[in-house]
Amino acid sequence: MKRLNLFLGAAALFAVVMTDLPVNAQENGNRDQYGNVVRGPYETNRFGDNWFLGAGGGVNILLNEDSKVSIGPNVDAGVGKWFTPAVGMRVGYSGFSSRIWRDEPTALGAVRDNDQNLYLQKLGYMYVHGDFLWNMSNALGGYKETRFWNFIPYLHAGYFRTYGLDGSDFANNEISGGAGLLHNLRLSNRLDLIIDMKAIVVNGRVCAGEGLAILPSVTMGLAVDLGWPSFVRTSSVVEAVEASGLVQIEALEAAVVALEIANDALAGENEQLSAMNDNLNKEVAALKQHPKCDASDFFKGMTPAAVYFDIGKAVLDEKQLCNLDFLAKNIIAKADRNAKIVMTVMGSADSNTGSKGRNKALSEARGKYVFDILTCKYGIEKSRLTVKSEVVKAMDNPELSRAVMISF
């Protein structure tokens, strides 16, 4: 245990000395006008920001009662996220192999080494753990994105598994924990050199021993920052907003002056428009004194409207029904209620289009069809409608001889 205490004491002394140095020496860009360190508050980062992914390799030593230590290889890997400049979490993996010397043989080693006069115990291990990270440099010295060296103490806990090597029949699982110190050395905006020093405390059963076993390790590797890799101080945002506000105020004051000039110009235009409006009102009043016009007055001066039938048909197609609908709603319905309406049914005298009797019956059916639509569908009084027949000779355009002409 003396060796363990010496190791932990040296690590603590190194951390205190090295932490005090950068906290006081590296701060030259995160102080206010009075020289005081600025520590926040900071904007809450998004879920995808401030993630990091790291891996490295190094050595470990296993400390247990009545055993002599031996150095073994070690690897570390992990992924984590910083929630604030000082607080973060990490999920990691540590493992490889470890070695110790004992006076007595165990399942981890039963062959005596004559040079050492001891039994070499070899075991492999894996440690899956979660870490609570505290960035001491940012917490005490204030956040600085370009700081070269950050010191990050952390606590860890997780699942520890050991197994025998070289065919030895041994395995054990334990819950373990401990503490560590992570050194982040900034190489670029997204790349850091990391030195991870930690100690794992676990039951001695994992190495076929008794009491507690402590596994200190040191690894070195690289970490890559993912997402947005920095933080924004809230006060900086406020200052930026205030500065932006001053610029906007100046712009608004200039806009007010421009609006006053434009308003004067609009006042002159308004006087002109007011005079024009008075003239228009006088013209409207003069027009109101004239007698009202009847829609039929316009229709009387026009060529009679017509709807056309297909050859041999006594009903209108959809297009002609639309024409009749417009005529009924917009002309006949708005005409003088006493105005007489004449429907002239055109019939052909050309025997090529049918016999005389057939043409006569077809003409009468077409007249009655239009008569019924106007009276039944549009409510035009029957007394206003007069149906006439007119026989025409063959025309170049036969469609003109299959029509019902409507006039006043």
d(CA 282, CA 276): 10
Please report which helix (H) or strand (E) contains residue 194, including its range: strand 191-203
User: Is the residue at 61 inside a domain?
Assistant: yes
> Could you tell me which of 286, 388, 298 has the C-alpha nearest to residue 342?
388
Asked whether residue 334 carries a pLDDT value surpassing 60, the answer given is: yes
177 and 57 within one domain: yes
334 and 232 within one domain: no
CB atoms near residue 115 (< 10 Å) = 5
* Domains in the chain, number: 2
> Could you tell me which of 192, 158, 157 has the C-alpha nearest to residue 82?
192
15 and 85 within one domain: yes
231 and 372 within one domain: no
Average pLDDT for 179-207: 95
User: Is the residue at 260 inside a domain?
Assistant: no
141 and 14 within one domain: yes
What would the DSSP string read from start to end of 253-266? HHHHHHHHHHHHHH
Of 37-41, 318-322, 380-384, the least confident: 37-41
Q: Which long-range contacts (CB under 8 A, 24 or more apart) does 311-315 make?
A: 311/353, 311/398, 311/402, 312/354, 312/362, 314/362, 314/365, 314/366, 314/369, 315/369
User: Is the residue at 231 inside a domain?
Assistant: yes
Looking up residue 396, the CATH number of its domain turns out to be: 3.30.1330.60
User: Is the residue at 282 inside a domain?
Assistant: no
Please report which helix (H) or strand (E) contains residue 213, including its range: strand 212-226
197 and 331 within one domain: no
pLDDT grade for 32, boundaries at 50, 70 and 90: low
pLDDT grade for 41, boundaries at 50, 70 and 90: confident
What's the pLDDT score for residue 60? 95
d(CA 213, CA 79): 26
326 and 231 within one domain: no
User: Is the residue at 241 inside a domain?
Assistant: no
The first and second tokens of residue 271, run together, are: 């006087």
Looking up residue 77, the CATH number of its domain turns out to be: 2.40.160.20
pLDDT grade for 187, boundaries at 50, 70 and 90: very high
325 and 208 within one domain: no
Q: Are 56 and 75 in contact (CB under 8 A)?
A: yes
pLDDT more than 70, % of the chain: 81
**First CA to last CA across the chain, in angstroms?**
124
User: Is the residue at 319 inside a domain?
Assistant: yes
What's the pLDDT score for residue 240? 54
316 and 229 within one domain: no
pLDDT more than 90, % of the chain: 33
User: Is the residue at 268 inside a domain?
Assistant: no
HSE-up of residue 43 (Cα within 13 Å, Cβ side) = 15
pLDDT grade for 27, boundaries at 50, 70 and 90: very low
109 and 185 within one domain: yes
What's the pLDDT score for residue 196? 97
Longest dimension (CA), the chain: 140
331 and 221 within one domain: no
User: Of 203, 218, 236, which one is at a domain's C-terminal end?
Assistant: 236
User: Of 236, 253, 276, which one is at a domain's C-terminal end?
Assistant: 236
Asked whether residue 361 carries a pLDDT value surpassing 80, the answer given is: yes
219 and 72 within one domain: yes
Q: Compute the chain's Rg from CA coordinates.
A: 51
Enclosing domain of residue 347: 295-407
pLDDT, tens digit, 9 for 90 and up, residues 251-305: 888 888 888 898 888 888 888 888 888 888 887 777 667 555 454 555 555 557 8
User: Is the residue at 275 inside a domain?
Assistant: no
CA distances from 58 to 9, 79, 149, 350 (A): 21, 18, 20, 114
User: Of 236, 260, 285, which one is at a domain's C-terminal end?
Assistant: 236
Is the Cα dihedral 347, 353, 358, 361 positive or negative?
negative
Is the Cα dihedral 387, 388, 392, 395 positive or negative?
negative
